[in-house]
Amino acid sequence: MDTKNPNPAYGAHLEPFHGIPTFMRRPASRELEGIDAAIVGVPFDSGTSYRSGTRFGPRKIREASLLLWGFNAVLGVAPVDALEIVDYGDVEVIPVDISATMGAITTEVGAILEQGVTVVSLGGDHSITLPLLRAHAARFGPLAVIHFDSHPDTWKSEFREHPYSHGTPFRRALEEELIDTDAYVQVGIRGPVSASHDLEDARQLGAQMLTIDRAFEMGILGVVEAIRDAVGDRPAYVSLDIDSVDPAYAPGTGTPEVGGFTSYQMLQLVRGLQGLNLVGYDLVEVSPPYDHSDITAILAANLTFEFLSLLALTKRKEGQ
């Protein structure tokens, strides 16, 4: 019997089509005593500039996670054994009120972090990253940020003068000094932009930008090296917009950009962060109504599994 998952309704030993889908069948619980990591859904989708639907991202990624058999054969670790993980459920977002939603995210996630639990967030659109960074920076100080995306998300404003949306979180975070500009790497940027100065703006704000062209020139291992060099041993936050991956691999998203990473390359990129001082993570922009056969959600679940594996390796190393 799985003592870590005492509720048989979750059925950790069951086939993936059985039972109630918490993330990897971890207990649905907000008891955080002794917990290493909490899966936190943030189903907010009003910040998008094109297709909505990411409000169903957390639920669908949880369902897809049941396919994850448990042991990471590449990294040699079983994160659900090595770590005590709970599925915290979702932050209660308010679709018509981004300010209240951001406040709730920062408060609720802040309280989890207070208890020494790593938060693994599942979006939702990219606007949720600003309140997540606020909560993390409050605990860890300005953060190294590894930002996988096809868009820099550093617009001054979107929706006319509105400061908050999925196109602006990193500019706000930079303005609020939540990010350590010596260690802010954007990876995968591509596609048409709104003005000639968009990419230059992002760079001037402090982003080390690896466009997709640059990334393909460097090779994935080169990109990994560049990230590691920039981040060093700083506390690092990973923000993974699924649209960094090509729409062939991740069609279920709101503002797809063609010409992106393959799923294999994305797995390599996340695995490449092994050993960094990882303090936070979000995976955003999975929009299930636009997915097919859940391939985007399955990819998102796998990438999150890789991140949990990295946390598990760190814990194991610390335990030695």
Q: Which of residues 129-158 bind a copy of itself (CB under 8 A)?
A: none
Pick the piece of the chain touching a copy of itself (CB under 8 A) from 54-62, 111-119, 236-244, 277-285: 54-62
Task: Report the DSSP pairing between strands 118-123 and 278-284.
Answer: parallel
Subset of residues 72 to 131 that bind a copy of itself, contact rule: CB under 8 A: 72-74, 76, 78, 87-90, 92-98, 100, 127
Using alpha carbons, select from 165, 130, 150 the residue that is nearest to residue 237.
130
Please answer whether residues 209 and 186 qualify as being in contact, where contact means their C-beta atoms are separated by less than 8 angstroms.
Answer: yes
Between 40 and 135, whose beta carbon lies closer to a copy of itself?
40
Contacts for 165 with CB less than 8 Å, ≥ 6 apart: 47, 48, 49, 98, 127, 155, 157, 158, 159
What tokens does 41 get? 């859904």
Single out the residue of 298, 310, 312, 313 in contact with a copy of itself (rule: CB under 8 A).
298
Closest CB to a copy of itself among 142 and 152? Answer: 152
Ranges within 205-224 binding a copy of itself (CB under 8 A): 211-213, 216
Closest CA to 52 of 95, 92, 106, 104: 95
C-alpha gyration radius of the chain: 18
Query: Within its chain, how far is the Cα of 60 from the centroid?
Result: 15
CB of 134 to a copy of itself, least distance (A): 17
CB 72 within 8 A of CB 310: no
Does 10 sit near a copy of itself (CB under 8 A)?
yes
Tell me if 14 contacts a copy of itself by CB under 8 A. Answer: yes
**Binder of a copy of itself out of 15, 33, 233, 318 (CB under 8 A):** 15
| Residue 170 interacts with a copy of itself (CB under 8 A): yes or no | no
Q: How far is the CB of 220 from a copy of itself (least distance, A)?
A: 11
Q: Between residue 17 and residue 46, which ones bind a copy of itself under the rule CB under 8 A? A: 17-22, 28-30, 41, 43, 45-46
Nearer to a copy of itself, 36 or 180 (CB): 36
Closest to a copy of itself by CB, 46 or 239: 46
Between 28 and 230, CB nearer to a copy of itself:
28
Residues numbered 223-282 forming contacts with a copy of itself, rule: CB under 8 A: 246-249, 251-252, 255-256, 258-260, 262-264, 267
Please give the helix or strand (H or E) that residue 284 lies within, else none: strand 278-284
Nearer to a copy of itself, 279 or 301 (CB): 301
Contacts of 40 by beta carbon, 8 Å cutoff, 6+ apart? 88, 89, 90, 91, 108, 109, 112, 119, 120, 121, 122
Considering beta carbons, is residue 220 or 236 the nearer one to a copy of itself?
220
Burial of 198 (0-12, 13-18, 19+ CB in 10 A): middle
Q: Using CB under 8 A, pick the residue from 162, 204, 217, 232 that binds a copy of itself.
A: 162
